[in-house]
Chains A and B, each alone.
Chain A
Amino acid sequence: MSEVTEEKTELVLPSRIESIEEAAVKAAQVAERLGIDEAAMFGIDLAVREAVTNAVKHGNKLDETKNVSVSFRSSTDVFVITVIDQGAGFNPVDVPDPTDPQNLLKSSGRGIFFMRNFMDEVEWGKMSEGGTIVRLVKKL
């Protein structure tokens, strides 16, 4: 039997807060199989939670008739997570820098910062059928 070098797992989750934990648990399971160390795992876990939080809360606005699709794809050198919502979309450039002194006391706006800080690549796109996709990449 040959060694498994590529793996893909997909979840379709309703737009509710509990889905964030569900996605994070699955991410941890995949990361463990990949042998990802604890420090990197902390960042991946946080990035997944923030991406799914944005999809559930800001994208789909907690409308449980809308789903969030999360996929985990891994190969020998990369772990890629995508999160797709059915919302109206946003421009990440419009999100202010939370570390700017004038934004330090804002109560929100740090999720995207955490994703960018802990992952090697983060990019957003629009789905042709509507909705936003965020792609999180961790190099292994």
Chain B
Amino acid sequence: MAELNISERQAGDVYVLDMSGKITIGEGSVALRTAIRRLLEEGKKKILLNLGGVGYIDSSGIGELVSSFTAINKEGGQLKLLNLTQKLQDLLAITKLLTVFDVYENEAEALNSYK
């Protein structure tokens, strides 16, 4: 089984990536990078990462979230985060990245925020 499973769905003009597994150095980080690059190449720039199934992340994975954020911003898009686990929320808090990312606990609210 892959370290990180990503499935894509569309909600209006927002593309939601449902993720489960680990975003760590190597396979997990690469899978996230590849998914974001593909969406941007397809012109899909409003992206919501549903991280509810991501039980583990390391500094490389957090770096990949930041890279995704900057790559999407550069293309005029928006990256937002949904359903952070408590551990991921704690890591983003201590790294002060909660001040950077737009984070939601409710999907409808997250989707509405793009309008």
A42/B87 in contact, CB under 8 A? yes
- Complex interface: chain A residues within 8 A of B91 (CB): 114
- Complex interface: chain B residues within 8 A of A108 (CB): 59-60, 63
A20/B25 in contact, CB under 8 A? yes
Cβ < 8 Å to B, chain A residues 103-140 = 104-111, 113-114, 117
Chain A nearest Cβ from B66, distance in angstroms: 5
A17/B26 in contact, CB under 8 A? yes
Report if A85 contacts B (CB, 8 A): no
In-complex Cβ contact of B66 among A53, A106, A111 (8 A):
A106
- Complex interface: chain A residues within 8 A of B94 (CB): 99, 113, 117
Report if B89 contacts A (CB, 8 A): no
Who on chain B is nearest to A108 by CB?
A: B63
CA distance A78 to B72 in the complex (A): 45
B95/A113 in contact, CB under 8 A? yes
Inter-chain CB contacts under 8 Å: number: 56
Chain A nearest Cβ from B88, distance in angstroms: 11
Chain A nearest Cβ from B104, distance in angstroms: 20
CA distance A113 to B70 in the complex (A): 21
Size range of the chain A interface in the assembly: 20 to 34
Report if B9 contacts A (CB, 8 A): no
Report if B97 contacts A (CB, 8 A): yes
Chain A nearest Cβ from B26, distance in angstroms: 4
B58/A50 in contact, CB under 8 A? yes
Cβ < 8 Å to A, chain B residues 49-99 = 58-60, 62-64, 66-67, 69-70, 87, 91, 94-97, 99
CA distance A107 to B70 in the complex (A): 9
Report if B11 contacts A (CB, 8 A): no
B59/A104 in contact, CB under 8 A? no
Report if B108 contacts A (CB, 8 A): no
Chain A residues at the B interface, C-beta cutoff of 8 Å? 17, 20, 42, 46, 49-50, 53, 57, 98-99, 104-111, 113-114, 117
Question: What are 17 A-B contacts defined by CB distance under 8 Å?
Answer: A17-B25, A20-B24, A20-B25, A42-B87, A49-B25, A53-B58, A98-B95, A99-B94, A104-B95, A105-B100, A107-B63, A107-B67, A108-B60, A108-B63, A110-B95, A113-B59, A113-B94
Q: A104-B100, A113-B94 are in contact. List 16 more A-B contacts (CB 8 A).
A: A20-B26, A50-B58, A53-B25, A99-B96, A104-B95, A104-B97, A105-B69, A105-B70, A107-B63, A107-B64, A107-B66, A109-B59, A110-B95, A111-B59, A113-B95, A114-B59
